[in-house]
Structure 1
Amino acid sequence: MRAINASKDEHTMIIVDLNRESTVAALKQAIKKVTGIPRKHQLIRNRSSFGEVLEDQETLEFCLRKPKVFLSFGELKIRVNYGSETFIIMLDKSDTVATLKKAITEMFGIPHEKQVLIDTRDLVFENDGKTMDDYGVKKDQNVILAWNEFEISVKYDEIEEPISDQVRNVG
């Protein structure tokens, strides 16, 4: 067992005893015991790899080399409206649309490429690397999830003649 320092900010420190084979899920459970914050509202980020969000099944081996983990409780509570139901997803302002879509995929099983996310201002969230902050997402914001169930494919007929033979100058 070795202590792992998990901090929400520079002023708050949580110390839990886990071993290198423990998973991120076990870390979240230990933090829940100390703080009461539900696991689903915790994002565990690896400080040494540019804040990458760690998956529940990953082990804590990386933490024991450099025992410092950034714990994020999610600054934004985003309500995702899907049909007649509303679901809560906790994110940080620095999370991208891809992170939101990944969370939606995990909740509903809808592939990210079939998700259309629209906020109450009729702003469509593109999967363009922008963060929640870039889109002006506020705490307790509603996001409407439209599921694009239809594949649209366009088949272009191959042109047998060169294009230059088909184009004529007019005028």
Structure 2
Amino acid sequence: MADARSIFVTGLKNAHAMENQALSIMKPQVSRIENYPEVADMLERHIRETEGQIERLDAILASLSESHSTMKDMALSMGGAMAALGHTIAPDEIVKNSFANFAFENYEIAAYKSLMTLAELGGFQQALTGLKANLEEEQAMAHWIDSNLRSLTMKFASLKEAGASAKV
């Protein structure tokens, strides 16, 4: 089972870095939002959830006498910050951010489903509760984005048509 443990630990470290990347994407976005308070509120909530997800991953890693990878965390955080910066020049930044956030949430969902499978295969049952909580939060955020994309796009178009700042 040494291989199963190694694969699982690598996946946990990757998920930890992924969540740090998520923070580096969401925090700049929320700081720029002016005309979409519902998006800002949801992003702020999900930032708090993400911080909790990182704590859960730390606890799972600690239960295995492991810790996160500082290098992976830093590398993905830098990549996330660059991705967030890339959308700031788009005239439809809020819409582009929503597309990217929806894609990233679904990436996280896939990562947690895979980690849960690895936990089951490797006999790491104690990890399932935390991983399931993280998965459910990611699914809820993806659902919220999916459910609100139409109204966000309509609001963007309406603000743009009225000559108001529609970007963020």
TM (norm. structure 1) is 0.24
Quick check: which one's strand share is greater? 1
Quick check: which one's helix share is greater? 2
TM (norm. structure 2) is 0.24
Structure number with bigger Rg: 1
